[in-house]
Amino acid sequence: MKSRLLIPFILVMALIMVYVPESQAGDIPEWVIKEGEDYNKVELYDLESIWEGVAYGSVYPPTTVDMNGGHVGDLDDYDSGMFTYESSTFNMSDGVVEYLHTYNSSTVNISGGVVGADLGCLLNMSAHDSSTVNVYDGALLWGLSYSNFLLFDSAVLNLYGGEVWLFLVPLGSSTINIYDAEIHYDICAEDSSTVNVYGGYIGNFSGNVSIPGTATVNIYGYGFDYDPQAEWQYFGDPCDGWWVSRLTAYDCNAGPITYWGLPDPATHPNINLIYDFVLGRGADFSDFAVLARAWGSSPGDDNWNPICDISDPNDDVIDEKDLDAFVEYWLSGVE
């Protein structure tokens, strides 16, 4: 009698374990999206996760997906696209993803291709729950009209390169780190978010930085020039426009870098200009060592280092005036 009851039970469990909803990414061969493949929606989970109470073990769903071509998403369906959950990883080197949303400490690495819908969508991309999005050279984050990339909670966006043509909006305690990228639309830092700028370019197409809340913007370099009326900005009719400010920061590695549309750092309490000779660390002992090696030098001396000439105005000598300027920023930007 027990054996008769056991057989139907085993058959039911087998059917449950092999059933995969259409929205899962398990249909993708070898968990790689290739040129010519087209998916409406792909969802990534950690191997140990449970989806609707059904454990997929070591087969479904995948914890990592690589994309080197193809297409994910439906322009007419905002609920389509790539979704990452539960510490999963999505690596994209080519192809098109119309919508991208990442959750639960997952990681997205974009080194090529296009991410973003080619229409006026309010939300093309989002990052939640301590997830991380890394963007590298060759990547294009794209949107038209009021397309946004929203960061929530403690999410992090690292821009190492590429181009950004949508609005970046960090919320909550999220962070944007700009190392080198072309940003052509606005950055709107809200709540207690942080924007760290080490390089790159905030463009004058429509690029502005607004700080409506208690957010912080830290700009690192070894010299800064602010021009409140640098360029006439207009769309269509040249007579209908406005002046756009410009901040030029001097990067130890890349030379002068221009940021358009910034409020005046001298009067805005949430913008910090941080002298940092060794970029990315903040003003600490490594920077003091650079200043000390150049101490007392002038152009032509063996130990002359122009990045240490930070007195205002610059006077072609490294002395107490430069030390005073450096001390003003001591430990700024140090975590």
Instruction: Give the least confident one: 11-20, 195-204, 225-234.
Output: 11-20
SS3 194: strand
* Pairwise CA distance, residues 169 & 189, whole Å: 6
The answer to whether 275 and 325 have CB atoms below 8 angstroms apart is: yes
pLDDT band for 111, please (50, 70, 90 cuts): very high
Mean pLDDT to the nearest integer, 216-221: 88
328, pLDDT greater than 90: no
* pTM for this model (two decimals): 0.78
Give percent of the chain above pLDDT 90.
37
pLDDT 10s digits, 254-293: 577 888 888 888 888 899 888 777 766 677 888 889 889 9
